Amino acid sequence: MISNKETLKKEFRIELLNIISYWKSNSLDEVNGGFIGARDHDNNIRINQDKGIILNTRLLWTFSFVENFDSSFSCKAEADRAYRYLKANFKDNRYGGVFWSLSFKGEVTNSRKQIYAQAFLIYALSEYYKLTGDQNVLNWALEVFDLIEDRAKDLNNGGYFEAFKNDWDTIEDMRLSEKDLNASKTMNTHLHLLEAYTSLYAVSGNFKVKNALDNLIHLHLEKFLNSSTKHFYLFFDDHWNNQTDIISYGHDIEAAWLLIEAAHIVEDKSLLQKVESLAIQISDIFLKEAYVKSFGIINEKKEGVVDEDRHWWPQVEAMLGLAFVSKIEAKQSYHDALIDIWQFVKTYIIDKNYGEWFFRINKEGKPYESENKIGMWKCPYHNSRALVKLIQML
């Protein structure tokens, strides 16, 4: 088992290069511009697939983030490409924000305004602004921030509504995906607003963004957190009535470290201490319930039934979350689990034939061949982010 930090850093860097090389070689759409909509499990292009806003904003974020980390990865051209395509095709110049999806030719196929998507646009633009220093990029991010605060914020009960029609009128079906409940407020969307506002405040210093970020931290602590179980509730109605008992282990551990980052940047010492203490509690429960020695992180639990599939993204969110809490309290169990999860990723999750990572594997370690290698929800954001941050922390 690996314990040497320099060996770990080397392995993380090699895999980061593999990931970036895969996306630079396999995701560009040389016919219609921008990036392709999907590749299947065997890395074949899925012809004429829609282009989703989540994949495209995450590509802009990833290429910008890795270029900001180390320019030797040579991601500037891809970041520029992603930005140009988002601005030319996904941006709604009439009502503001970005559309949900386009055809492979770049025509709007779904014009709904999902707040989750607007959050990822802000996250991506903030990182791209760090790369370019282009004031127009920052202005767009702040414009979308103002739009969210004006249109999506619940002034009566707090929090943010999930989705809207193209013109920001109310919409009946607010689901982020077919797997989600039709709930008006979700932890997932609020978590990624927290993530986006953390980055936006870091690059803008805007006081309104800081206040909104501070509010989001408190919403996670006071509304989403189950103070008894140290899991986060996922789905709510307008009045903060919980809608389900689903536990998403990946979101639990991702929230732990994102809350630490957010509390750091708002510079509230008492809040940071509270968040750090909570992160340790979340991590301890997480290791007890979600971590299987030598076999990674399970997906979720619903109505007492455990989903034992191993999705790619909770593995690296677990590694990163454990690295963050190790800085607060140097428990051997955190270090050992981090190394063990990485061994699992190398053995089962990384696709050694076609590159990149499998979307998910079953409890026998076999990948689901029906899942895409590139798609609306399959992107390099989770794994590249974790690897960069782990290298920096080491």
Helix (H, G, I), strand (E, B) or coil at 270: helix
Is the model's pLDDT at 177 over the cut of 90? Answer: no
Can you give the pTM of this predicted structure? 0.97
Kindly report the average pLDDT of the chain as a whole number. 97
pLDDT, one tens digit per residue, over 13-35 is 999 999 999 999 999 999 999 99
pLDDT, one tens digit per residue, over 192-237 is 999 999 999 999 999 999 999 999 999 999 999 999 999 999 999 9
The sign one gets for the Cα dihedral 347, 348, 350, 351 is: positive
Which residue(s) pair with 232 in the sheet? 225
- Phi, psi at residue 30, to the nearest 5°? -85, -10
Q: Write down the domain spans for the chain.
A: 5-393
Is the model's pLDDT at 114 over the cut of 60? Answer: yes
Return the pLDDT at 3.
Answer: 60
Structure tokens at 93: 């110049």
Return the pLDDT at 1.
Answer: 46
What is the torsion angle, in degrees rounded to the nearest 10, for the CA atoms of residue 129, residue 134, residue 136 and residue 139?
40
Return the pLDDT at 2.
Answer: 54
pLDDT, one tens digit per residue, over 71-108 is 999 999 999 999 999 999 999 999 999 999 999 999 99
Read off the pLDDT of each residue in 332-339 and give the average, rounded to a whole number. 97
The answer to which of 117-131, 138-152, 175-189 has the lowest mean pLDDT is 175-189
What residues have CB less than 8 Å from 91, skipping those under 6 apart? Answer: 98, 140
Is the model's pLDDT at 388 over the cut of 50? Answer: yes
Report, at the CATH architecture level, how domain 5-393 is classified.
Answer: Alpha/alpha barrel (1.50)
